[in-house]
Amino acid sequence: MSRTIPLGEHAIVIGGSMAGLLAARALSEHFGTVTVVERDRLPNGPEQRKGVPQARHVHAFWAGGLQAAQQLLPGLRAELLAEGAVRLGMSTDMAWLTPADRWCRHFEATQDIVSASRTLLEWVVRRRVRAIANVHFLPEQEVTALRLDQHRNVCGVTVRDRRCGEVLDLSGDLVVDASGRGSALPRWLAAHGLATPKESVVDGHLGYATRLFEVPDDPSRGWRAAYVQPSAPAHSRGGILFPVEGNHWVVTLIGANGDHAPTDEEGYLAFARSLRDPLLHDAIVSAQPASPICGFRHTENRRRHYEEADLPGRLLVVGDSLCAFNPVYGQGMTVAAKEVERLAATLAGCAGPDRLVDVVRRAQREVARCTDGPWTLATSNDLRFPGTDGGRLTVATRVINRYLDRVIGAVSDDATVNAAFLRVLNMIDPPQALFHPRVAMRALAPVRRSRDARPATPVPAPERVG
């Protein structure tokens, strides 16, 4: 039986991380072969690798992201849980001190997230994509240039073998850049005399410091995850603790506005103690560390407007290479999964290689649209800190922020507002959902709150959701 090849013979994906892997899966339905070129050695299990240094830090994969990834890889959630990922009901299982200085009540869970280390998430996705017959991996190969044909369409890439230095040209009908925040694509375009995309950068000078701990036995603990959220502009410090596989906590201390958590033991604990509430400090002070303390500082929001650029044909950009966010909002992987979901929807039903240039242009616009809401949310909150570079709050964003403050003020005590907020946080609903009259009426109701005691009672078993 002959196989239909609707869009082309060969697609090349640069970067074998979350965005690249999911893109390869989507493209495998439309191209004869998909090759993922990755400059790292790809481990045969959930191990750290050099190209994804952020993997040492907490990585929330919101329900909307997992849903999108599951469309491409059915059964992914069950596989993650089978590998030891932890199911968390939000906000039942989480001690959450909101920016309004309120501990969120343990409402019945309305969102169910799967908490795992970034390495496990990537490994389980990679294992699935590896099993797709027409997807091939070229590990330890670094893309060094784009190749263009006489019609100014991309026709492949140049790769350098990192083991022996050998250089070879790889031909393809489509090239997808998923090489992350540090993508060299603007440089590769410039090398061909092509215009580089406009870039927007909003930098809140945020730093992370993260350590793994063994989860201590404590049946009286009233939570399974904890988040002491920074509260702009007054409190630039925060911390998040998530349970992950292996009976570990991953504990990330967050410092915005250049106020970074130290990576030495004493400084790290002192920073934890200085948060608006010492819950995280008290949890870790006598817990057994299971890793060194690692820092990370390249956290600016960086958006490259490829959808507006005069790009060569047959080139698509996804993931952090297109738009990287301040990680404190946990958006990157979920946005990447949604972008690829949108890519898959755009490609579905498009047949014939002669349409490829147009289809890819349309796909780039669609994919970029997925970043609009998350970009606005991340940057308008970052801009509340006086030290943030790269933009200014407009009158409109100030008004929106004032409204969002009211929503956050109600999130801890009002089940309806809480559920609506969690749907937006989890990227099930767009941010506009927070302006629904049902939410607005409650958020704008007169405030009568004082700070609650932190949740201390044992958490009831979360309700099943979805």
Ligand X SMILES: Cc1cc2nc3c(=O)[nH]c(=O)nc-3n(C[C@H](O)[C@H](O)[C@H](O)COP(=O)(O)OP(=O)(O)OC[C@H]3O[C@@H](n4cnc5c(N)ncnc54)[C@H](O)[C@@H]3O)c2cc1C
In the complex, the residues that contact ligand X under the rule CB under 6 A are 14-20, 37-40, 51-52, 54, 57-61, 142-143, 178-181, 184, 208, 296, 299, 319-321, 327, 330-334, 336
Q: Which is nearer to ligand X, 101 or 339 (CB)?
A: 339
Q: Which is nearer to ligand X, 145 or 350 (CB)?
A: 145
Cβ of residue 169: shortest distance to ligand X, in angstroms? 14
The residue with tokens 């130290």 is: 262
Peptide bond into 186 cis (omega under 30): no
- Distances from the Cα of 441 to the Cα of 141, 413, 434, angstroms: 55, 14, 11
Give kind and range of the element (H or E) at residue 188: helix 185-191
Classified as helix, coil or strand, 48 is coil
Cβ of residue 351: shortest distance to ligand X, in angstroms? 28
Q: Which is nearer to ligand X, 52 or 459 (CB)?
A: 52
The residue with tokens 């970029």 is: 368
Is residue 378 within 8 Å of residue 300, measured between CB atoms?
no
CA dihedral 139, 140, 142, 143 (to 10 degrees): -20
Sign of CA dihedral 6, 9, 12, 17: positive
Cβ of residue 324: shortest distance to ligand X, in angstroms? 7
- Distances from the Cα of 387 to the Cα of 233, 326, 395, angstroms: 10, 14, 19
Cβ of residue 405: shortest distance to ligand X, in angstroms? 23
Q: Which is nearer to ligand X, 139 or 267 (CB)?
A: 139
One DSSP character per residue, 192-252 reads TTPPPPPEEEEB---EEEEEEEEPPP-TT---SEEEE--BTTTB-EEEEEEEETTTEEEEE
User: Distance between CA atoms of 359 and 69, rounded to whole angstroms?
Assistant: 22
The residue with tokens 């909150």 is: 381
- Distances from the Cα of 266 to the Cα of 58, 228, 274, 294, angstroms: 21, 20, 12, 14
Cβ of residue 246: shortest distance to ligand X, in angstroms? 18
Cβ of residue 386: shortest distance to ligand X, in angstroms? 23
The residue with tokens 């250049």 is: 258
Q: Which is nearer to ligand X, 73 or 184 (CB)?
A: 184
CA triple 355-186-296, angle to 5 deg: 120
Q: Which is nearer to ligand X, 200 or 416 (CB)?
A: 200
Q: Which is nearer to ligand X, 11 or 184 (CB)?
A: 184
User: Distance between CA atoms of 205 and 234, rounded to whole angstroms?
Assistant: 15
Cβ of residue 448: shortest distance to ligand X, in angstroms? 34
Classified as helix, coil or strand, 320 is helix
Q: Which is nearer to ligand X, 8 or 327 (CB)?
A: 327
Query: Which of these, 422, 147, 177, lies nearest to 324 by C-alpha position?
Result: 177
Peptide bond into 91 cis (omega under 30): yes
Cβ of residue 185: shortest distance to ligand X, in angstroms? 9
Task: List the structure tokens of 90.
Answer: 């939000």
Cβ of residue 1: shortest distance to ligand X, in angstroms? 35
Cβ of residue 275: shortest distance to ligand X, in angstroms? 18
Cβ of residue 323: shortest distance to ligand X, in angstroms? 9
The DSSP 8-state label assigned to residue 306 in this structure reads G
Q: Which is nearer to ligand X, 162 or 454 (CB)?
A: 162
User: Distance between CA atoms of 154 and 32, rounded to whole angstroms?
Assistant: 18
Q: Which is nearer to ligand X, 309 or 323 (CB)?
A: 323
Q: Which is nearer to ligand X, 410 or 425 (CB)?
A: 425
